[in-house]
């Protein structure tokens, strides 16, 4: 049987399901291998799923994720803890659909970063100035706290809290949203979320990124010493998910918001 791993949120309900799932899978001949799994079972919420993606980032093309939510229904999972029996039986029967989701890839002078929800450039220490280019063409000068680049999936996360648009599932788009932009008659940026095709390349250039941070989902990295960050859809790796049943995107939206 193919090896599996479990990533569970550290709460009582998730831990209980983790124990039960491990027992039931091993009873069917599956072998636990957290180093090189074929399937990663995610027990928790959307945050747990994102954590699991980053944990297995180097193996994404070889790993499939299958999740159960121990709370309200999430965007990344189709089952809640009360659906455990159906969740397990669907997996054992192989009656699932595999879907893939894109990642964002950010490159600086010295590093490469990946995110499934969003890439952020933020500076809470001082006003951050940036020249922004789209596909190599100058777009605008920005001054403020920072910028957020979100995938369609990430449009309902931090991007939404910034006033960005929620993008419908399946649309091949990314979104650029300002974080506390400064606007007056001396300098002014667009000041509105900008929805673009997902094949664009965004560049953020500055002579001084001191104090600035690059956020890749929940991971945060220092940008001091860098001079540019480019962001695009990653072309080499995608997130592979197993879906056992169809729940409409609009049902998820109304359940969560």
- List domains and CATH numbers for the chain: 3-95 (3.40.50.10330), 103-236 (2.60.200.30)
The least confident of 30-44, 56-70, 72-86, 214-228 is 72-86
Distances, alpha carbon 244 to alpha carbons 76, 88, 98, 195, in Å: 12, 10, 9, 31
Q: Distance between CA atoms of 42 and 46, rounded to whole angstroms?
A: 9
Q: Which residue of the set 46, 78, 141, 207 is catalytic?
A: 46
Looking at per-residue pLDDT, the higher value among 249 and 227 belongs to 227
Per-residue pLDDT of 52-74, as tens digits, reads 999 999 999 999 999 999 976 67
Segment 153-175 mean pLDDT:
93
Catalytic residue list contains 208: no
Report the predicted TM-score, pTM, of the whole model to 2 decimal places: 0.91
Left, alpha or beta for 203 (phi > 0: left; psi -120 to 50: alpha)? beta
Phi, psi (rounded to 5 degrees) for 234: -70, 135
Question: Collapsing DSSP states into helix, strand and coil, what is residue 85?
Answer: helix
pLDDT at residue 73 in the model: 63
Residues 6+ apart with CB under 8 A from 8: 14, 15, 17, 18, 42, 43, 44, 48
pLDDT at residue 220 in the model: 96
pLDDT at residue 34 in the model: 95
Looking at per-residue pLDDT, the higher value among 66 and 248 belongs to 66
| Residue 118 near residue 156, CB atoms below 8 Å | no
pLDDT at residue 26 in the model: 96
In degrees, rounded to 5, the angle at the alpha carbon of residue 167 between the alpha carbons of residues 166 and 173 is 135
> What pairs with residue 98 in β-bridges?
242
**pLDDT grade, residue 174 (50/70/90)?**
very high
């Amino acid at each position: 049987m193919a090896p599996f791993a479990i990533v569970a949120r550290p709460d009582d309900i998730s831990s209980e399901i983790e124990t039960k799932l491990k027992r039931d899978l091993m009873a069917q001949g599956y072998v636990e291998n957290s180093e090189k799994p074929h399937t990663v079972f995610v027990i928790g919420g959307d945050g747990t799923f994102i954590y699991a993606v980053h944990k297995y980032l180097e193996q994404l093309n070889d790993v499939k994720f299958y999740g159960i939510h121990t709370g309200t229904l999430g965007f990344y999972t189709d089952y809640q803890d009360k659906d455990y029996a159906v969740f397990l039986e669907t997996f054992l029967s192989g009656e699932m659909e595999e879907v893939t989701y894109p990642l964002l890839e950010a490159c600086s002078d010295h590093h490469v970063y990946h995110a499934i929800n969003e890439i952020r450039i933020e500076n809470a220490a001082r006003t951050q100035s940036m020249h922004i280019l789209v596909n190599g063409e100058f777009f605008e000068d920005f001054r403020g706290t920072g910028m957020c680049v979100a995938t369609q999936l990430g449009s309902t996360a931090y991007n939404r809290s910034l006033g960005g648009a929620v993008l419908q599932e399946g649309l091949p788009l990314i979104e650029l949203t300002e974080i506390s932009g400064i606007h007056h008659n001396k300098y002014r940026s667009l000041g509105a979320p900008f929805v673009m095709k997902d094949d664009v390349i965004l560049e953020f250039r500055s002579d001084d990124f001191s104090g600035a941070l690059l956020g890749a989902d929940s991971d945060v990295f220092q940008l001091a010493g860098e001079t540019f960050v480019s962001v695009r859809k990653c072309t080499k790796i995608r997130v592979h998910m197993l879906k056992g049943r169809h729940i409409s995107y609009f049902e998820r939206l109304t359940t969560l918001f």
